[in-house]
Chain A
Amino acid sequence: MGIGTETLTQDAVALDVPWNVVVHDDPVNLMGYVTWVFKKVFSYDEKRAHRHMLEVHLAGRSIVWSGTREKAEFYVAQLQSHQLTTSLEKPE
């Protein structure tokens, strides 16, 4: 009985860790468009959207949003429908 109680506690902690929405660089999407998509999908202001776009362009990827799995999945699908290469990353 003691072992079962310990397992349940670990599961509860794992659910609280945020999931990452990651956008990857590609050679086709225009930089202005990537900024536009971040503004549209996340309602980011110009400065924040531009910063994420530059990170994608220069570093090859940017974590553009972190939070609950359900919402992260929604955002990944939104970004993909705008043709941005996007992945969902599990918390470590």
Chain B
Amino acid sequence: MAPTLNGGLRIDAEESRDWDVLRYVMIDAEPRLLAEHLTDQAGDEAEDWREYVQPDLEQTFESQINFVRRAIAEATNAAAGGPGSLFIEKAQAESWYGALNQARLALHAHYEFPEDDADAFAMPPPKRSAYFRYEFYMILQDLLLKRVMTL
């Protein structure tokens, strides 16, 4: 991964498996559950919120996932599934960040990773694999935040 001259970010896939790792964002994210969870926390207005706001939240989260799905599909096709690059432009960074955040929120809800000093190798395989994805998404988010999403 590297910053680009026009203020974006480039992700290089060295082999077909790298594209699979990126596709996990769509598998891990749970837009509907996230919208429900946020609505449940809305406080005194939760009942009205469920009816009037939750559908919009769901739509926002789904659109982030669909955007990332299309971007990965286009980059994978351009690389014929092999080595290649995916570019995230400044204007696209928020959708990417949102999709990655959805994936991390969902993974954390499932596995409740410790906040500090997690020993990934002591975790059972499904949780370990999820933890590595969680960390990878976080590194990508950190790069987007520091290099691309400047206000």
Q: Which residues of A contact B (CB under 8 A)?
A: 22, 24, 26-30, 32-33, 36, 39-40, 73, 76-77, 80-83, 85-90
Contacts and interface: CB of A to CB of B under 8 A. Distances in A.
Interface residues on B, range: 20 to 34
A11 B68 CA distance: 49
A85 B41 contact: yes
A29 B137 CA distance: 12
B41 A87 contact: yes
12 contacts: A27-B108, A30-B138, A33-B145, A36-B145, A36-B149, A76-B42, A76-B45, A77-B56, A77-B57, A80-B42, A82-B98, A88-B43
A88 B48 CA distance: 12
B108 A33 contact: no
Nearest to B113: A27
Contact of A83 (B42, B56, B102): B102
A83 B104 CA distance: 11
A83 B108 contact: no
A76 B149 CA distance: 22
Interface in B99-140: 101-102, 104-105, 108, 115, 138
B76 interface: no
Contact of B98 (A40, A83, A89): A83
A30 B145 CA distance: 9
Contacts of B108: 27-28
Contact of B42 (A29, A30, A82, A88): A88
B141 A87 contact: no
Given A80-B53, A83-B105, A89-B43, A27 B115 contact: yes
B150 to A, nearest CB: 9
Contacts of A32: 142, 145-146
A86 B53 CA distance: 13
B96 interface: no
B101 A83 contact: yes
A1 to B, nearest CB: 33
Contacts of B5: none
Nearest to A32: B145
A24 B151 contact: no
B4 interface: no
